[in-house]
Amino acid sequence: MRRVHRRALIGIAAAVFALTGAGAVALFRTAPQQRATTTAAVPAAAAPVGAATSVRDGTYEVGKDISAGRYKTAGPPTKATIRNCRWQSAKDDSGELRSIISSGDTQGPGSVTVKAGEFFQTSGGCTWTKQ
């Protein structure tokens, strides 16, 4: 039984190696390069440390995670299944209805202005860039 089990494992390992080939090695090599490129592209003088000027889906604290100001989007990605950019600004990140300051959605270009201390939440795969 042990010999059959060992042969089966060797066969599975050979099949995985044959299917992945050098592509798996290339995949692991590109990941660190992508991280280095992304971090190097953020200019230190453009915004306070840690504050982004371009964001995608997520919840951000204005003044800490992103800079205060006006953000614009060109709209949802062309390959999106549901073409809708949803945004919301809130007093806190509690998720409570009472905390919402304003919200909206757009199927094309749009903009929103956020102030320091607010929370900005977005979904729909849109990229929002500070103007």
CA 41/CA 53 separation, integer angstroms:
12
For the record, the structure tokens of 77 come out as: 């990605």
Q: Which pLDDT score is estimated for 39? A: 47
Q: Which pLDDT score is estimated for 58? A: 94
Q: Which pLDDT score is estimated for 53? A: 87
Q: Which pLDDT score is estimated for 10? A: 53
Per-residue pLDDT tens digits for 94-118: 989 999 999 999 999 999 999 999 9
Listed by start position, the domains of the chain span 1-41, 54-130
CA 101 to each of CA 46, 48, 50, 93: distance values in angstroms, whole numbers, following the listed order: 27, 24, 24, 12
> Along the 131 residues of the chain, how does pLDDT read in single tens digits?
455 455 554 555 444 444 444 444 443 344 444 444 444 454 544 444 568 889 999 999 999 999 999 999 999 888 877 789 999 999 999 989 999 999 999 999 999 999 999 999 999 999 999 99
Q: Which pLDDT score is estimated for 57? A: 93
Q: Are strands 110-114 and 119-123 parallel, antiparallel or unpaired?
A: unpaired
